[in-house]
Amino acid sequence: MMQLILTACLTVSSFACRESSVSIYEEMNEFQCAMSALPRVASWTQEHPQWRVIRWRCKYENVASIF
């Protein structure tokens, strides 16, 4: 399973930033995740209008953290 890791900052303060993750339940590699990330980033941004995404990356989810 992949995770899309978003780094987002509050729109009113660029110093207040956080990371948020979006789990991707489709089978894909990191390249495919990166290529399909933009619609997911847009969706997250619509759900969190007070945050501005400044970067994102894909990584394999740590299977041990699921259990």
Please report, rounded to a whole number, the percentage of residues in the chain having pLDDT higher than 90. Answer: 60
DSSP string of 11-52, one letter each residue: TTEEEEEEEEEEEE-S---HHHHHHTHHHHHHHHHHH-TTEE
Give the residue, 62 or 10, on which the prediction is more confident.
Answer: 10
- Phi and psi at residue 55, to the nearest 5°: -165, 160
Exposed / middle / buried, residue 27 (Cβ in 10 Å: 0-12, 13-18, 19+): exposed
Do the beta carbons of residue 53 and residue 44 sit within 8 Å?
Answer: yes
CB atoms within 10 A of CB 58: 21
- Indicate the pTM of the whole model: 0.80
Domain ranges of the chain: 2-62
